[in-house]
Amino acid sequence: MKYTQLGRTGLKVSRLVLGTMNFGPQTDEADSHAIMDAALDAGINFFDTANVYGWGENKGRTESIIGDWFAQGGDRRDKVVLATKVYGNMGADGAAWPNHDKLSALNIRRAVDASLKRLKTDHIDLYQFHHIDRDTSFDEIWQAIDVLVQQGKILYAGSSNFPGYKIAQANEAAARRGGTIGLVSEQCLYNLAERRAEMEVIPAAQDYGLGVIPWSPLHGGLLGGVLKKQAESGRRASGRAADSLADPVLRGRIEAYEGLLDKHGLQPGEAALAWLLTRPGVTGPIVGPRTAEQLDSALRAVELELSAEVLSGLDEIFPGPGPSPEAFAW
């Protein structure tokens, strides 16, 4: 496994991030524990989750699965850089009860304590804001985070799904307070088929020293060889991949993409991950394996070197928007 610094911090993290969103809803606890063991054995030390994972009536279930894995001992917790998130409503009855969601100081305090209990740990290494909160000032948010850092409950703060201007606002507010490190990472939707983050989010992250953590690196399976799999199995794609393939232009790009990689003897999913690892500012993509086999495929991407010809071909098939303002102005 290869490692890098998380943004401007001294924290060393693996170039792949183990996403746990499937733990509970699609992967049972025993298999989830086996995947985490295999990831740790392979050198992946960066695990990502969120308090809402498990979804619906099972919100929090994923954190509990991770906590049970930590409780097995063997230095599991000590070896892991643990990231979780706050924002979604965690009301027990599923109703949007006031102050049980978003980023008020009250909810941040409540959410951290609940996550620590489920995760069976005394601290969270990276505490991420899952979405922007238009109703809460960054002064209030940073006041809450400062207290948690002082208490030793969290070490760093990060964002997820933030536009570039909110990254700037957050870190400028932190700078005004003094003594607050501010955001150290941004977790965003970024892959070959969805490159809009290159316009402003990634440049903002780079300027402020944030590590970029792409989620959905295969765009819901679209970049994982979906057409070849359909032809072999006879089963139609579902979810985001199916919606994307309904667009004839995007379907044509996927055909060209799979053809290019087949010509060079490359597996689509591994190539899509390897491409992200070449991108400026990227710390590492989140991979969310449902099985051990999917984890093995992701691990091969770390060692995969894409040739200049392949990289050029991928840019021709999936041209990025370019930086702003040139992407939409002169």
CATH number of the domain at 153, please: 3.20.20.100
Would residue 261 count as lying in a domain?
Answer: no
Residue 70 lies in a domain: yes
Residue 243 belongs to a domain: no
> Torsion over CA of 63, 112, 44 and 198, rounded to 10 degrees?
110
The alpha-carbon radius of gyration of the chain (Å, integer) is 20
Can 208 be counted among the known catalytic residues? Answer: no
The per-residue pLDDT of the chain, averaged, comes to 95
**pTM, entire model:** 0.96
Residue at 320 is within a domain: no
- pLDDT score, position 189: 98
- pLDDT reported for residue 297: 93
Q: Does residue 262 form part of some domain?
A: no
Pairing of strands 3-5, 12-14: antiparallel
**Residues 255 and 227: beta-carbon distance below 8 Å:** yes
Which one of 53, 127, 156, 257 is the catalytic residue? Answer: 53
Residue 242 lies in a domain: no
The residue segments making up the domain with residue 85 are 3-221+268-307
Closest CA to 299 of 256, 270, 258: 270
Task: Specify the pLDDT at position 185.
Answer: 98
Domain contains 245: no
Query: Per the domain annotation, does 232 fall within a domain?
Result: no
250 burial (CB, 10 Å; 0-12 / 13-18 / 19+) is middle
Per-residue pLDDT, averaged over 155-159, amounts to 98
Summarize pLDDT for 72-124 with one digit per residue, the tens.
Answer: 999 999 999 999 999 999 987 656 788 999 999 999 999 999 999 999 999 99
pLDDT of amino acid 180: 85
- Taking only the tens place, the pLDDT of each residue in 221-263 is 999 999 999 888 877 777 778 788 889 999 999 999 999 999 9
Taking only the tens place, the pLDDT of each residue in 252-304 is 999 999 999 999 999 999 999 999 999 999 999 999 999 889 999 999 999 99
Domain count for the chain? 1
CA pair distance 27, 33, nearest whole angstrom: 10
How far apart CA 184 and CA 211 sit, in angstroms, is 6
